[in-house]
Structure 1
Amino acid sequence: MKTGRCSAFSMIMFHLRVVHGHVRYSIPEEMATGSVVGNIVQDLDLDVNRLKSGRARIFTEDGSEYIGLNSEKGTLVVAKRMDREELCEQFSPCSLYFQIILDNPMELHRIDVEITDINDNAPLFSKKEYNFQISESALSGARYSLENAKDSDVGQNGIQTYKLHPTDHFKLNVVSRSDGSKYIEMILHTPLDREKQERHSLTITASDGGIPQKSGSVKINVVVLDANDNAPVFTQSVYRVSVAENTRSGTIISRVSATDSDKGPNGEVVYGFSQHTDGASLFNINSHTGEITVVGILDYEKSKHYEVDIEATDIGGLTDTSKVLIDVLDVNDNSPVISIISLSNPIPEDSAPETVVAMLNIKDLDTDKNGQIKCFIDPDLPFKIKKSSANFYTLVTDNDLDRETEPEYSITITAIDEGLPPYSTNKTIHLRLSDVNDHVPVFQEQSLTAFIPENNSPGFSFISVRATDLDSGNNAHISYFLDDSLVSGQTASSYFSVNPETGAISAVRSFDYEQTKDFMISVKAQDGGSPPLSSNVTVKILVQDQNDNAPQVLYPVQTGGSLVAEMVPRSADVGYLVTKVVAVDVDSGQNAWLSYKLQKAADRALFEVGSQNGEIRTIRQVTDKDAVKQRLTVIVEDNGQPSRSATVIVNVAVADSFPEVLSEFTDFTHDKEYNDNLTFYLVLALAVVSFLFITCVVVIISVKIYRWRHERLFYKSSGNLPVIPYYPPLYADAGGTGTLKQGSSYEVYGTTDSRMSDVKSPRSYSQNSLTFDRSAASTMPRLKSEMESPFAEVRSPAPARDSLHDTEY
């Protein structure tokens, strides 16, 4: 029990009772707005902060707002004036039922507030006066039905006593029916005499039991009639009948009967409703037969009982009264009503089973089985319906959810009563699932291959990676990052960059196919979830060769000072192999496919060049008319687009003896290097020859000393000095399978005059090769002395060969 004080009433006791989470309060009607009803924080063992965080609110099924909630203090207060008579009429006890709902987690507390009656209404008669015509022959004991006074109050505050004044001829009697109701009647205890007193004026006073006491009165006018000695008498004082609420208009539901002992017109009885009957608009009585029929629409939910007062009157004005009690029977004519009082929408897709989605209020205005409800949803859905209390249900999860499989559910809730026939109602909830970051970004392929041309410009974008994520929003927003691991000894970011939004991979620098042919990098795709999820893809990048290198001629070697000539005897047959142009291209593929062709020649009818192998051969028989000196220009082209080329000059000597060759090539050299100013060149040549002679003497002595010391060291080391072969730049020969054989070697010496450049004597030229010093064109003695020198080598003509398989390059 709890006690409270109301500002409108002094020391009013408040009663509450808590049973299984239910709290009951009792307050008087007419309390002032703002008056405290009770403290639910204490009574429900709650916390004020819980009321705020749970967004506590009041839910009433009929939407009334008589009670308010003060969340700051945790108290229930009167929201507006409450009139018990307006709310409950004569029903008692009069209570307000509502629920306090809290969210996160959902809680439901039932509150019952009983509205107690105060004596604020006085007894009231419907009329100010009533008129009766009573025959003087009326016998003692004759009864005259009167209308009860109405008092909207109940209990002790309702009507307690009736008083009649005066009581000379009449007395007042209060009659209790079997159903507990009461009515008053006026009984004649002293016969009337019209000749003595034709009119009587009486007053009936009804008083309640409230404090202070209140009362109401009505005036009774009695006119005494002469003659008629007998009044009609009903066969029953109370008639009881039951009728279904769906009874059609015009249906006879009962019949009353009264008899009059008089004969003739005084014995004829007429039936009718009394002036104060209940439900006169819904029923009709046949004035002659007493049959009662339904003329209106009955509704069990509006009124379950009707009391009909019937009067039987004879021609002389004598009457008798009876009451017909009509009970309305319920039929199943109302469908269940579904109300959603709380809904969590959307819910996370990782919600655990038994998570509350919605709270429902389902009710049926019918009674008994007609008002009993079954509630269900589609069993294939991952949800279920649970009954939490009377008329309240919760919709909870019943299985795991996955937004990517089913992002939204349409949940149809069906409520059906147990009436015959049953009525049902559907309510559809459209529930959405909010995304949780439970999917990693996925690449279509785990590894990719990309191509990038060499000599690319920095910033060149050559491929884009793309990943997809089944999540949504930020959880599906993918950013791309380069895994900065080591690539060719450096970090990957020093070679490449990745656009974080598009996944486009760009080169940071320019690449050279001849240096690096491929890279292997890893790109990570990461979503924007918390925590983020990621996956990787491997990208193999192949550098594509471009035709950025021209062919390089390895043989014949183009020297600046010496003149190398290939010797062809005049007896050479058709197809004689003069020499072979050897060239390479550091590019790859078709960019390195080389072709050879003769660009210029002194006699195009004598020589040809193999387009694929670079071999220079004779195409006809050599004759005595052919010039000794032949100058061939060979162009070497690759197969790139556009193609690149290199040019090599091949000197060919057509002769059978050395003197012939020397004389011709001396003239050739002399003609090439000197102009018409012969005297100038003779003087210059003399000075150069003198300088060269002195230089050669010094070089020869130095070389002799060097060789002598080198031989001593060789003998001392048991001849274990390594042999260092010569290879062209950027190329290596493995096992003698390359373009040049390991047997090639050179000895180099030169003069201080840049124009008189190095004299090179290749030891491994073709046996048909001749080496000439261009400086020897000055004098023949000089030429002869150099030819006698151990550093000049002249090869004698050899028999013609068809191939160069035995020639070392």
Structure 2
Amino acid sequence: MRGQVILLICVFSVACVDGQVSYSIPEEMEKGSLVCNVAQDLGLSVARLKSGKARLHSGDSAEYVELDTNRGVLLIRERIDRETLCGETTPCALHLQIILENPMELFRITIEITDINDNAPSFASSEKRFEISESAIVGSKFVLEKAVDADIGMNDLQSYLLKPTNNFALKLEQEADGSKKVEMILQKPLDREQEERISLLLTAVDGGKPRMSGTMQILINVLDANDNAPIFTKSVYKTTLTENSARGTKVITVSATDRDKGSNGEISYTISNSKRRLSDLFQIDRKTGEVAVVGEIDYEKTKSLQIDIEAMDNGGLSDSSKILMDIIDVNDNSPQLKILSKSNSILEDSLEGTVIAMVSVNDPDSERNGNVRCNINQDIPFKIQNTMSGIYSLVTDSELDRETASEYNITVTCSDEGVPSLSSSVTLTLQISDVNDNAPVFERSSYEAYIVENNTPGVSIFTVKATDADWKQNARVSYILEDSSVNGVPVSSYVSVSADSGVIHAVRSFDYEQIKDFRFCVKAQDGGSPPLSSNVSVNIQIQDQNDNPPQVLYPVQTAGSVVAEMVPRSADVGYLVTKVVAVDVDSGQNAWLSYKLQKATDRALFEVGSQNGEIRTVRQVTEKDLLKQRLTVIVEDNGQPSRSATVIVNVAVADSFPEVLSEFSDFPHDKDYNDNLTFYLVLALAVVSFLFITCLVVIISVKIYRWRQSRILYHSSLPVIPYYPPRYSDTLGTGTLPHTYNYEVCRTTDSRKSDCKFGRAGSQNVLIMDPSSTGTMQRMQSEKSILDEPDSPLEVTDFTETSRQREAGVHVAFVNGDRRWRAAALRNDADSHYSVRC
């Protein structure tokens, strides 16, 4: 019959307001019974339940209901006994929450448990004994034990029946708590002689369908003459009691009087039976009527109590009273926290207000003791807010930065307003997930490194280093050589960069004389998506090595001619013979040159300046000194190791040119050079002869052109053009050859059109002789209009031409009567042009 009732009572009400639904089901439904289609009522799909990982939160109560996410329905998980769940509390309801994620949502569900008539009224004892004097007057009251029915409403106890009713009748009186006070009224005097023992049956009936009942046997012994019943001084006693009062605490003392004497006037006090079995909480002294605490008083279980007290004399007469007791709440419960949902990690670029956790908060105390406020630890970018009654959300309050804090321990503390205040806390650990929001940063704003020239290709120069404040892949830095060029050459042909370590390697061997420094950029790029990068400038300085020997610029060493410096025999001590000029393309101390005399025909006659390379006489020249002097000068740099070059200087000690000519004409001719020259001349003549027939016009034009050019050259007054060795200059007489003399000789086939230009005379004498030259200079003229300085004219004062001179092709001029010789060796070639420096 009960199963049919459960199946039939499947009527429920649904109310959905602000994400809340309410249902009503009867108790005692079978396990697995359908409660409702919650997905349909909430407007949710089954797919949403699954994707949101829907779960049912039932709070602190037992899990009587479960959620079937495949169907979107609520099912009975455990049999529900309303009396066990709620007792006398009405209405009796289960408060549940359905929690969804992605996004996070919460829905409240209230399921009211309705009562069915599954409990029959019952008495604490199966029988009740009375001893009533036969002198008891009509109308005497005898308090009967109340029956207890765990059901409520119409299913609760409704009425009592007493049988037989010959001497006694029932009187029911409604009490403040809704129960009925049961009294047995004597309506007919007793006669012990006729009936000494009377047996009555008291039946308690509830209002359920079908009705259920319970019985108690009443046995009455008829005594003799006790005609006064006890009377309480108050019909109702009121008092208060603080919860958690210690056992033995005195609550109140009740009192009743009996006008009888002797044993008939002795009164004993008892606590009547009730639904709550108050005898487990309180006891009364049978003699004094003092009520004391013997159990645990909990305001959260009951807020007020009613204790029924009975006073009975020895004759069986009794009276009843009650104690109304209000329980005073004590702040003895800390707030109860429960995490409904939480996120273990969150991206550092999450928007402000992102929910990371939902916490349920409950305090069973009342009034201020149950008012709860929650907060979190300070100085963190989060805040807690009350989203609905008893539910708090933990959300982000500002921007997150994993590089500042990668993990947060968030402590949620909830405190009530009681005195003293009680609190509870729970700690959540939240990881901040990295986002690629930091570009690599180099340790320096720019780098400068040095490498010695002539390095081995592939050698490591130095290392650039960049760091990224991000994490894992976003912090993995790769190094890239930016495209650029150095002197029109891609920089990748000079250096390379290791992508992982940032080590810069030389791709080639560097030459300081070609490139002294160069600049390029290196990019550091992280592994994020999209990647971030930064650049740094790198300047490579090439350091010089002593890898170049000195180069002698003067005197020039030639294979086809002999260069000789002339020193008159009248030269004084310290006479400047010549100056050795050398340079070193290295730099720094590698280019510091020193000069010393290595070999000499007469070491006692000449010395070389160690710093300037000047060759001077050490003593007075004598007649005994050899005409031909040969000096070997070595030029060394200051590098480590040192490099050197050797130059041979020929010096002629003579006062007249014929002496020099006769001595130096013995030098061997450059036969190979002449043979080669003859071969080329013959070859050229053959080519010209072959082309003459076919290109006559062209040749005539060229001849005319050359003739006109020679005329222009003859009539022009060109300035003297000094000669400087390329890339070098003379500084204070210590660098290169001093450009003191400058001669220009222009010759044509017609000797009358030949020109000689002489610069101003200096302190050095040079004799250049070419033994292979032939021909005779017929005439030499000097024109004042072509001199460098008008105030110092040059005049040919003396000239003697000998057969030896003609053969050697040597032409000598004495300038202004000075006995310093000037000589030029001129080849007898058509249109030859020579520049001679002394």
Task: Using structure 1 for the length normalisation, give the TM-score.
Answer: 0.84
CA-to-partner distance for each residue in 1:221-250, whole Å, 9 max, x for gaps?
222223323222223444332212144444
CA-to-partner distance for each residue in 1:302-331, whole Å, 9 max, x for gaps?
333334332322233433333333331212
Counterparts of 1:694 and 1:107, CA distance in 2: 111
CA-to-partner distance for each residue in 1:734-759, whole Å, 9 max, x for gaps?
999983559588999xxxxxxxxxxx
Counterparts of 1:520 and 1:513, CA distance in 2: 15
Say whether 1:16 aligns with 2:45: no
Residue identity matched to 1:195? E
Counterparts of 1:719 and 1:121, CA distance in 2: 151
Say whether 1:769 aligns with 2:798: no
Structure 1 residues 207 and 745: CA distance shift in structure 2, 3 A: farther
Give the secondary-structure state (helix, strand or coil) at the position aligned to 1:9: helix
CA-to-partner distance for each residue in 1:636-678, whole Å, 9 max, x for gaps?
11122222111112222223345544555567x58xx9xxxxx
How far does residue 301 in structure 1 lie from its aligned partner after superposition?
1.6
Say whether 1:808 aligns with 2:824: no
**Residue number in structure 2 paired with 1:30:** 28
How far does residue 98 in structure 1 lie from its aligned partner after superposition?
1.6
How far does residue 162 in structure 1 lie from its aligned partner after superposition?
2.6
Match of 2:135 among 134, 137, 145: 137
Structure 1 residues 31 and 65: CA distance shift in structure 2, 3 A: same
Structure 1 residues 173 and 695: CA distance shift in structure 2, 3 A: closer
Counterparts of 1:82 and 1:729, CA distance in 2: 117
Residue identity matched to 1:212? P
Q: Relative to structure 2, which stretch is displaced further, 516-525 or 197-206?
A: 197-206
**Residue number in structure 1 paired with 2:233:** 235
Spell out the pairing of 1:84-483 with structure 2 (5 A cutoff). 84-274=82-272, 278-377=277-376, 381-483=380-482
Residue identity matched to 2:163? H
CA contact 1:89–1:152 (8 Å) conserved in 2: yes
CA contact 1:595–1:614 (8 Å) conserved in 2: yes
Residue identity matched to 1:808? R
Say whether 1:562 aligns with 2:580: no
How far does residue 72 in structure 1 lie from its aligned partner after superposition?
2.7
How far does residue 717 in structure 1 lie from its aligned partner after superposition?
8.2
Q: Relative to structure 2, which stretch is displaced further, 572-581 or 116-125?
A: 116-125
CA contact 1:17–1:23 (8 Å) conserved in 2: yes
**Residue number in structure 2 paired with 1:584:** 583
Structure 1 residues 773 and 48: CA distance shift in structure 2, 3 A: same
Structure 1 residues 726 and 8: CA distance shift in structure 2, 3 A: farther
CA-to-partner distance for each residue in 1:457-510, whole Å, 9 max, x for gaps?
222222322233333333333222121123322332232222222222222222
Give the secondary-structure state (helix, strand or coil) at the position aligned to 1:452: strand
Give the secondary-structure state (helix, strand or coil) at the position aligned to 2:315: coil
**Residue number in structure 1 paired with 2:789:** none
CA contact 1:6–1:36 (8 Å) conserved in 2: no
**Residue number in structure 1 paired with 2:794:** none
Give the secondary-structure state (helix, strand or coil) at the position aligned to 1:539: strand
Counterparts of 2:455 and 2:678, CA distance in 1: 55
Structure 1 residues 537 and 355: CA distance shift in structure 2, 3 A: same
Structure 1 residues 93 and 559: CA distance shift in structure 2, 3 A: same
How far does residue 89 in structure 1 lie from its aligned partner after superposition?
1.7
Give the secondary-structure state (helix, strand or coil) at the position aligned to 2:278: coil
Counterparts of 1:319 and 1:619, CA distance in 2: 162
Residue identity matched to 1:353? E
CA contact 1:657–1:796 (8 Å) conserved in 2: no
Counterparts of 2:525 and 2:344, CA distance in 1: 29
Spell out the pairing of 1:458-607 with structure 2 (5 A cutoff). 458-607=457-606
How far does residue 723 in structure 1 lie from its aligned partner after superposition?
11
Residue identity matched to 2:257? T
CA-to-partner distance for each residue in 1:94-129, whole Å, 9 max, x for gaps?
100021222333222111011122233333333333
Give the secondary-structure state (helix, strand or coil) at the position aligned to 1:458: coil
Counterparts of 2:458 and 2:745, CA distance in 1: 47
Give the secondary-structure state (helix, strand or coil) at the position aligned to 1:13: coil
Counterparts of 1:301 and 1:692, CA distance in 2: 131
Structure 1 residues 710 and 788: CA distance shift in structure 2, 3 A: farther
Q: Relative to structure 2, which stretch is displaced further, 489-498 or 203-212?
A: 203-212
Give the secondary-structure state (helix, strand or coil) at the position aligned to 2:30: coil
How far does residue 147 in structure 1 lie from its aligned partner after superposition?
2.7
CA contact 2:360–2:391 (8 Å) conserved in 1: yes
Counterparts of 2:685 and 2:393, CA distance in 1: 116
Give the secondary-structure state (helix, strand or coil) at the position aligned to 1:87: helix
Structure 1 residues 724 and 446: CA distance shift in structure 2, 3 A: farther
Counterparts of 2:404 and 2:344, CA distance in 1: 18
Residue identity matched to 1:603? D
Structure 1 residues 249 and 648: CA distance shift in structure 2, 3 A: same
CA contact 1:714–1:720 (8 Å) conserved in 2: no
Counterparts of 2:4 and 2:106, CA distance in 1: 27
Counterparts of 1:243 and 1:693, CA distance in 2: 143
Structure 1 residues 281 and 214: CA distance shift in structure 2, 3 A: closer
Question: Once superposed, what is the RMSD of the aligned Cα atoms?
Answer: 4.1
Q: Relative to structure 2, which stretch is displaced further, 728-737 or 45-54?
A: 728-737
Residue identity matched to 2:633? V
Q: Relative to structure 2, which stretch is displaced further, 728-737 or 451-460?
A: 728-737
CA-to-partner distance for each residue in 1:66-110, whole Å, 9 max, x for gaps?
222222332222222222222112222210002122233322211
Counterparts of 1:692 and 1:769, CA distance in 2: 28
How far does residue 367 in structure 1 lie from its aligned partner after superposition?
0.8
CA-to-partner distance for each residue in 1:687-723, whole Å, 9 max, x for gaps?
99998998899899999x9999855543268978999
Residue identity matched to 1:788? R
CA-to-partner distance for each residue in 1:262-283, whole Å, 9 max, x for gaps?
1223212122334668322332
Counterparts of 1:603 and 1:172, CA distance in 2: 168
**Residue number in structure 2 paired with 1:616:** 615
Structure 1 residues 400 and 695: CA distance shift in structure 2, 3 A: closer
Counterparts of 2:523 and 2:396, CA distance in 1: 37
How far does residue 24 in structure 1 lie from its aligned partner after superposition?
0.2
**Residue number in structure 2 paired with 1:714:** 710
CA contact 2:518–2:539 (8 Å) conserved in 1: yes
Structure 1 residues 624 and 716: CA distance shift in structure 2, 3 A: closer
CA contact 2:814–2:820 (8 Å) conserved in 1: no
Counterparts of 1:714 and 1:6, CA distance in 2: 143
Structure 1 residues 744 and 436: CA distance shift in structure 2, 3 A: farther
Residue identity matched to 1:269? I
Task: Using structure 2 for the length normalisation, give the TM-score.
Answer: 0.81
Give the secondary-structure state (helix, strand or coil) at the position aligned to 2:501: coil
CA contact 2:164–2:201 (8 Å) conserved in 1: yes
How far does residue 11 in structure 1 lie from its aligned partner after superposition?
6.2
Number of aligned residue pairs: give it.
766
Spell out the pairing of 1:39-118 with structure 2 (5 A cutoff). 39-62=37-60, 64-118=62-116
Residue identity matched to 2:171? N
Give the secondary-structure state (helix, strand or coil) at the position aligned to 1:459: coil
Spell out the pairing of 1:648-667 with structure 2 (5 A cutoff). 648-658=647-657, 660-661=659-660, 664-665=663-664
Counterparts of 1:807 and 1:789, CA distance in 2: 20
Gaps of 5+ in 1: 674-684, 749-762, 777-782
**Residue number in structure 2 paired with 1:780:** none
